[in-house]
Amino acid sequence: MFRKALLALPVALALGATANAQKAPEDVLQGLIDSIDSSYLTQSEMNLMMMPDSPALWLIDDGKDLFHEARGPNNVSLETCDFGKGPGVLEGAFVEFPRFFEDTGRVMDFESRLVHCMKTIQGFTDDDPAIRTKHGNAADITKLQTYVASLSNGHAWNPPMDHPMEQAMRDAGEVIFYRRAGTMDFSCSTCHAATGKRIRASVLPNSNVPEEWTKAVSWPAFRVGHDNVRSAQHRVGECYWQMRHAEPVWGGTGMTAIISYWNDRARGQPAILPDMKR
Amino acid sequence: MFKKTSLAAGVAAFAAFLFAGGSSIAAADEVDFTAMSAEELAEYIILESGGFHLDAAVQEGGTMRARMEQDDMQRACSVVGGGKPDAATLEAVRTAAAASITYPEGGIKLGDWQKGRELSWSGFGFRVGHRTDEHSGNRQPGGNCANCHQKVGDRDGGTLGPDLTGYGKARGTSDAMLKYVYDVIYNAHAYFPCTQMPRMGAQGVLTHAQIADIMAWLLDPESPVNQ
């Protein structure tokens, strides 16, 4: 009870003013559950109960402090970072990734863009723990990402397709999604193209059902089984590992193509940020 | 006949052109992604752009690159958006699958269902990355059957494949039945071209003896599957 009260305040503050964003992540999920019959969305009663107390909510506040604090060799904040909607615009920015950036000449997923800003604005290098440490609640990248993502909670996924590069990456991601390879002949579609199927006890989300798929791609999420907040890149990596395929390079073209396609498949449906996964 | 072919010709030519200048790592950014078809770009991203750790060693020997290059079945059965290829392609896949199957010396026999129980449950093997499966004497790759098939026994199984509860009870152990189940485990495309079921024998995941053990788990009247 006490913990819940403590959490409510920073979350309410962080979530800002738009109508949708005033909803908590569990309310966004409940809205989806009410809209369709999905055994994936409802598979974990426990998680639904725990979401208001999700440890991911604590990271929002930490990430907010980190974001606005003068840091790095250049001793400046990230407030001038352009996530695509103009320097410093964070509201609704997360659901419009991946996106083409003129300054780098490539399509970037959110995490790559964040790292780009930490390097170019704050002067961090790959060897600094702020950038090197990518995993777990304690990583700066996890906190920063959870903060900025939370400012898109309840916003509809809307990755831009105006630039030909954005469309090209999305289309290549689609081909990769259906491309069978490896020891087990798996493609992503083996497990994510039908409704209500299970791998052992886990109900699989269907990429053809946007109301389901929005939860699937809503990362960062507190991963109960890992007791840590994980990003989209972790999930891509984990599924590739299960598939017995090669590991995608962090922030590389494979990651970006897959994430371009998967966010596009959730287009129009509200993001649950941060989410809680099994 | 079913051998790996290299990248789509266009992409190969494109890459050769790009890499010819001597700059060994032509940045992915320098390639015009928008000039390629989605298929060409996908191949480029996977095999040429440095987007995947293709140099990682794999359990069967060699590197990940070989796993990520598609063989003929994988290429024929990858249909963007889902569904199956045309009938002629399916027939080619089926014929090639049937030809891939090798049989144990002395014919197909049921092995030990208790070993088969563990093998059909185990999802160990061939995973590479943050944790890499070390195949060794006491830790050999499993059949993954329970990932996709429900009630192959007493534990929770998946539903990507049909429920196999009581499989042998309904079917018996005739020679025709033994051959059918052996073939399905070895290379299910011989009966279900472009199936999602992995080619456990043809891809070298399971040995003849292990297949015999798993068959016993499915067909032996003593097996809990058939109780």
3-class secondary structure, A80:
coil
Note the pLDDT of residue B162: 96
Give me B86's structure tokens. Answer: 């045309």
A223 found inside a domain = yes
Q: State yes or no: pLDDT of A218 exceeds 60.
A: yes
Residue B113 CB: number of other CB atoms within 10 A? 24
Contact yes or no for A101/A113 (Cβ under 8 A): yes
Domain hosting residue A273, numbered range? 159-277
d(CA B146, CA B161): 9
Residues of A designated catalytic: 239
A194 found inside a domain = yes
Backbone φ, ψ for residue B226 (5° rounding): -105, 15
Residue B115 CB: number of other CB atoms within 10 A? 16
Q: State yes or no: pLDDT of A4 exceeds 50.
A: no
3-class secondary structure, A227:
coil
Q: How many CA atoms lie within 13 A of B156 on its CB side?
A: 6
Residues A17-36: tens digit of each pLDDT? 444 447 999 999 999 999 99
Distance from CA of A190 to the nearest CA of B (A): 6
Per-residue pLDDT, averaged over A53-79, amounts to: 97
d(CA B134, CA B125): 8
Contact residues on chain A for B127, CB-CB shorter than 8 A: 241-242, 244
Helix (H) or strand (E) holding A203: strand A202-203
Residues of chain B with pLDDT under 70: 1-29, 153-154
List domains and CATH numbers for chain B. Answer: 4-74 (no CATH), 87-226 (1.10.760.10)
Give me A140's structure tokens. Answer: 């700066």
**Letter for the amino acid at B222?**
E
Note the pLDDT of residue A19: 47
Q: What is the CATH number of the domain that holds A231?
A: 1.10.760.10
- Tell me the pTM: 0.92
Contact yes or no for B65/B169 (Cβ under 8 A): no
Q: Do A185 and B79 touch (CB under 8 A)?
A: no
B 151-170 residues inside an 8 A Cβ radius of A: 156-160
Which of A100, A104, A161, A176 to mutate: most B Cβ within 10 Å? A176
Pairing outcome for strands A275-277 and A221-223: parallel
How confident is residue A56, by pLDDT bands cut at 50, 70 and 90? very high
Q: What percent of chain A has pLDDT over 70?
A: 92
Closest CA to A99 of A161, A171, A186, A180: A161
A114 found inside a domain = no
Note the pLDDT of residue A6: 44
A47 found inside a domain = no
Write out the DSSP string of chain B: ------S-HHHHHHHHHHHTTS-SS--GGGS-GGGS-HHHHHHHHHHTSS-B-TT-B-TTSSBHHHHHS--HHHHHT--TTS----HHHHHHHHHHHHHH----TT------HHHHHHHHH---SS--SSS----BTTB-----HHHHSTTSSSS---SSS---TTHHHHH---HHHHHHHHHHHHHGGGTSTT-SS--TTTTTSS-HHHHHHHHHHHH-TTSGGG-
A228 found inside a domain = yes
User: Within chain B, what is the greatest distance between any pair of CA atoms?
Assistant: 68
A68 found inside a domain = no
Is A93 or B18 the better-scoring residue by pLDDT?
A93
Determine the distance from the C-alpha atom of residue A45 to the mean position of all C-alpha atoms in its chain, rounded to a whole number. 22
Q: Do B80 and A175 touch (CB under 8 A)?
A: yes
Is A157 or A2 the better-scoring residue by pLDDT?
A157
d(CA A218, CA A232): 8
Note the pLDDT of residue B17: 37
> Tell me, what's the ipTM?
0.91
Distance from CA of A221 to the nearest CA of B (A): 20
Residues A185-214: tens digit of each pLDDT? 999 999 999 999 999 989 999 999 999 999
* Total domains in the fold of chain A: 1
| Cα-trace Rg, chain A | 18
d(CA B189, CA A239): 24
Cis peptide before A98 (omega within 30 of 0): yes
Residues B39-73: tens digit of each pLDDT? 999 999 999 999 999 999 999 999 999 999 999 99
Q: Does A239 touch chain B if contact means CB atoms closer than 8 Å?
A: no
Note the pLDDT of residue B6: 42
Q: Which residues fall within 8 angstroms of residue A193, CB to CB, at 6 or more apart?
A: A206, A207, A208, B82
